[in-house]
A and B are shown apart, each in its own frame.
Chain A
Amino acid sequence: MTHQMGVTGSYPLILAIWLLPLAGAVIAWAFGPQLKRQAGMVGSAAIGLAFLATLASWGAAMQNAGGHLGAQQPLGSWLPGFDFGLLLDPLSLIWALIITGVGFLIHVYSIGYMWTDKAIARFFAYLNFFVFAMLTLVLSDNFAGLLVGWGLVGLASYFLIGFWFFKPTAVAAARKAFVINVVGDVGIMFGIFLIFWKIGSLSFGDVFANVHALDPWLFWTCLFLFIGAAAKSAQLPLHTWLADAMEGPTPVSALIHAATMVTAGVYLVARCAPLWSASHDAQTLVGTVGCLTALAGAILGVAQWDIKRILAYSTMSQIGYMIMGVGVTAYSAGVAHFFTHAFFKACLFLGSGIIIHELHDEQDIRLMGGMQKRTPVAFYAMGASVLAISGFPFFSGFFSKDQVIYGALEHGYTWMWAVGLLTAGITAYYMFRLFFVTFFGTYRGELPPESVGVPRQLHDTQQEPHGSNEHAPSWLMAAPVAILGVFAVGAGWIMMGTGSPWARFFANSFPHETLPAPSVSELVTSIIAVAMFLIGALIAYTRYGSSTALANAPARLKSETEKLPAILVNLYYFNELIGLLFVKPAIAIGQFFSRTIDPHLIDGAVRELVIASRAVGTFGRSLQTGLLRGYALIVVFGAAAFAVYYALEGAAR
């Protein structure tokens, strides 16, 4: 394997990539009241410049001199033994490109989306701060810096989910996301403790050169690191926060909860590839969790009506694929799916944002329909993205997803291969369901909500607060969506065939393995995947897209709403399960302490002390008679005691 130590020397351009978003955040924050909408331009410019700097660093990141891959910028020794620094190698380059590139498009889009929001400067401050945090995470050359970025990303996510802090649901969702992310942070911290205990260094280069020093704790290190990855990447059972996080503005959902932050878990596992390659148990664990999450997320996506929640569960499912890919050590396949997913999922979210804007903050697809004519840009871009995510041949998702599924088979996990293919079919079904219900037929927004099965109360709380009808120049939102749509179609072409640019790109990053050819060839896998796509899409078409289905759409949607299985509507009861297993006991412990321990033991101890000292005082008062002769008597008793003592002692002699 190749050690991922950077070249000695420095490459200051990384500092520019890293610090430009921070500068944008500080400016937007400090001069927000003066800048107002211009904060969006400042923020977008900062991210755009960072993207250009990243592109300019391509050559440096790809250099491979004497076993040292990539470029490095040391940041000095902060503590004895802790040399911080930035590292740009192919893996972090890919992430930095997506963060800044897709991030730039989303920033531009956000100027239009948040045009009428009074707190637009604060929004861009948070958004730039998030990009900075994410870059800290991926550019750090050691576990400590990674953990710092990890925590900052969680904080930025908290800020952005709770951006509309006057909505109680948004605040609750932000808190939930933060708490679950902290669970993950603690997991990572334990992993880092183990690494430092066994190896004595946190630098990636040192750790990956001494993986076997971790024995017999290697599996536990992987497990703890994966708890962090699972929390950040919404894997079972720590996935519950992701759908709630859709309370944030739609661009946030696109940037954080689809394209970048939630893939931090994928990055972590891919970054720690030497650890995973050395521990077969960890591969099985992570692959299993990813595979089950992919399936569970896809099934939940079937039962949702909120356009952003459908996309959220689809995100969860797609990240399940990525985690499965990196988990079974098909690292470049998992990263490839991250790469393509960033485009088509950001495109889907931003497209849905256009629709939500067009319909004045309506998010329920049962109240949409016929959007093809009203939002043509969203229609074409999202159409391309739906084809990409569903695995239509030669669209981007087709290549990366097949790589993941075939990678599982290649590494000997046949059942994951089967589940992956099944999930691909379900994905096609629910994505086309979304597509048909939203864009085809006639507009249902003027119908009473109850007639399509939407409960009135739910409908009112799900809206995003924008207020004014004043609209930004339409190209601000249309252009990023269109660009992302183009990439959603074409991003996979670099992965075509053996010896593709993608494979060459990662040639030096990951450990090479020669595996026996599996019983089912890659071509057959692709054919089965396309067949699954066709089946899923066809079912969706007959149920929602055909002319007969569209004719009586309202009644059909209503009856379907009523017939959804309770277990799916209630999201497998995961929230209730977590409430039962963790929240209730925590509340019970708290109440036990507040009602029993505190008043009786802690306060009680103080009270007993008071009673005791008062008793001592009362006793002392009774001795203090003021009678001189009483005192004399006591003195005489003392003297007599001495006399008796010495008399007895003398007698004993």
Chain B
Amino acid sequence: MILFYAMAIVLILSAIFVVTAAKPVYSVVGLLAHFAALAILYFSLSAEFLGVIQIIVYSGAILMLFLFVIALLSSGVAAFSEGPNRLPKIAYPAAGALAVLLGFLVFAAGKFHAAVPAASKAAVPPVGAANAFGSVADFGRALFTVDLLPFEITAFILMVAVIGVILLAGDATPYVPVRKRQRIVDQEMREAVIREGRH
């Protein structure tokens, strides 16, 4: 319980820091703290596998990606200075109304009492057991049996993302198929021979 509130404070503060940081690199640091605190909460919710994933994937991979991009782009520091706000004026009252609405939702959420079904506690294996709720074995069984299709789709999405990133940022020159490229080379060679012959 104390753990929850402590982590809640850390999460909120680090989130505010992320959003308000002057430079993206500070945001990354805030985000790192945020993800760590979140991983601790996941463990307290007996989601061991996801807690580990949170650290490895988010902190290890995604945040590193952010850092690489920041490093790549920060050759021009001026690029990170923000220009004039061009959002239409109508957006301000709209955003204010939205804030009030969301505040109300947060307030209402505190009073939420879920009618949680009476799951048999006896059916739940004790924490630490090989097949306890949220353990790697438990999660893996679900992932590779009943939820296999979403898992496969995930793999497909990741592949698409990889291809997309390569196409977008990989090479500035347009893609040319090999055979066409060969033809272009041959053409240039023939023209070179003709030029040589004239001389």
Contact = CB atoms under 8 A, between A and B. Distances in A.
Interface string B95-113: 1001001100100100000
Interface in B74-97: 86-88, 91, 94-95
Interface residues of A, number: 11
12 contacts: A627-B86, A627-B87, A627-B88, A629-B91, A630-B87, A630-B88, A633-B87, A633-B94, A633-B98, A637-B98, A644-B105, A647-B105
Interface in A147-175: none
Contacts of A627: 86-88
Contacts of A647: 105, 108
A640 B98 contact: yes
Contacts of A633: 87, 91, 94-95, 98
Contacts of A643: 105
A440 B156 CA distance: 115
A633 B85 CA distance: 14
6 nearest A-B pairs in the assembled complex, by CB-CB distance: A629-B87, A633-B91, A640-B101, A640-B98, A643-B105, A627-B87
Given A643-B105, A647-B105, A636 B88 contact: no
Nearest to B95: A633
Contacts of A629: 87, 91
B19 to A, nearest CB: 13
A625 interface: yes
Given A633-B95, A640-B98, 4 more contacts: A625-B88, A630-B91, A633-B98, A637-B98
Nearest to B91: A633
Mostly helix, strand, loop or mixed at chain A's interface?
helix
A637 B91 CA distance: 11
Contacts of A636: 98
Interface string A626-645: 01011001001100100110
B115 to A, nearest CB: 10
Contacts of B87: 627, 629-630, 633
Contacts of B88: 625, 627, 630
A644 B103 CA distance: 12
Say whether chain B's binding surface is mostly helix, strand, loop, or mixed.
Answer: helix
Nearest to B112: A650
Nearest to A643: B105
B98 A644 contact: no
A641 B166 CA distance: 37
Contacts, number: 25
A629 B90 CA distance: 13
A640 B86 contact: no
A647 B105 CA distance: 8
A644 B100 CA distance: 12
A630 B105 CA distance: 23
B94 A637 contact: yes
Interface in A579-604: none
A150 B86 CA distance: 81
A640 B94 contact: no
B102 A640 contact: yes
Contacts of B86: 627
A144 B187 CA distance: 79
B110 to A, nearest CB: 13
B103 to A, nearest CB: 12
A640 B100 CA distance: 11
Interface in A305-339: none
Interface string B36-64: 00000000000000000000000000000
Nearest to A622: B88
A462 B108 CA distance: 102
A627 B91 CA distance: 12
Contacts of B95: 633
A636 B101 CA distance: 12
Contacts of A630: 87-88, 91
Contacts of B101: 640, 644
Nearest to A636: B98
A618 to B, nearest CB: 16
B51 to A, nearest CB: 27
A256 B9 CA distance: 112
A568 to B, nearest CB: 85
Interface string A505-522: 000000000000000000
Interface string A23-50: 0000000000000000000000000000
Contacts of B98: 633, 636-637, 640
A647 B109 CA distance: 9
A629 B94 CA distance: 13
Nearest to A653: B115
A512 to B, nearest CB: 96
A301 B108 CA distance: 104
Nearest to B94: A633
Nearest to A644: B101
Nearest to A625: B88
B62 to A, nearest CB: 20
A28 to B, nearest CB: 73
A380 B64 CA distance: 128
A65 B102 CA distance: 104
A643 B95 CA distance: 16
A627 to B, nearest CB: 6
A640 B95 CA distance: 11
Contacts of B94: 633, 637
Contacts of B108: 647
A637 B108 CA distance: 19
Contacts of B105: 643-644, 647
Contacts of A644: 101, 105
A627 B101 CA distance: 24
Nearest to A628: B87
A630 B86 CA distance: 9
A630 B94 CA distance: 11
A183 to B, nearest CB: 68
Contacts of B102: 640
Nearest to A651: B108
Contacts of A637: 94, 98
Nearest to B115: A653
Interface string B108-122: 100000000000000
A625 B90 CA distance: 13
A633 B86 CA distance: 14
Nearest to B109: A647
Interface string B13-42: 000000000000000000000000000000
A647 B91 CA distance: 24
A544 B47 CA distance: 132
Contacts of A640: 98, 101-102
A474 B105 CA distance: 116
Nearest to B108: A647
A619 to B, nearest CB: 14
B82 to A, nearest CB: 12
A644 B104 CA distance: 10
B144 to A, nearest CB: 33
Interface string B145-181: 0000000000000000000000000000000000000
A645 to B, nearest CB: 12
